[in-house]
Amino acid sequence: MQDTDPRLLLLSPRDNVFVLRAAIEAGETLTVSGQEVTVQSRIGMGHKLARQPIRVGDKVLKYGAPIGTATRDIAPGDHVHLDNLKSDYTATHSLEAEKARFGGTA
């Protein structure tokens, strides 16, 4: 058994998230750090998936650097995005305004 699905990219050994190399469809089961998880909703390529449990208040690490703070507990295999992450660099209201302006995901 493979420890982690090959569609998940670890950018730094310090990271607590993977980056998706390809979209994952809702209902797919994949292996995340040796644990099988079922994805609840479609997650697009380039988005983040939790590598390990991330507790509310923990820093989310990507490229070995903090990119934000968890706003709720995040389980391995969960999508890490605006609903559970507060950016340390861009105010959430700015991200929401961009999302509304362009009709997509921030």
Task: Give residue 88's pLDDT.
Answer: 82
Q: How many CB atoms lie within 10 A of CB 24?
A: 23
Do the domain assignments include residue 2? no
Give the residue among 44, 55, 56, 53 at the shortest CA–CA distance from 17: 53
pLDDT tens readout for residues 54-104: 999 999 999 999 999 999 999 999 999 989 999 887 665 555 666 666 665
Domain that residue 68 falls in: 8-102
Alpha-carbon distance of 39 to 62, in angstroms, equals 21
Q: Please give the tally of structural domains in the chain.
A: 1
Do the domain assignments include residue 1? no
Q: What is the CA radius of gyration of the chain?
A: 14
Question: What CATH code is carried by the domain that includes residue 66?
Answer: 2.30.130.110
Question: Which 3 state secondary structure label does DSSP give 102?
Answer: helix
Q: How confident is the model at residue 106 (pLDDT cuts 50, 70, 90)?
A: very low
3-state secondary structure 37-66: EECCCCECCCCEEECCCECCCCEEEECCEE
Do the domain assignments include residue 13? yes
Do the domain assignments include residue 24? yes
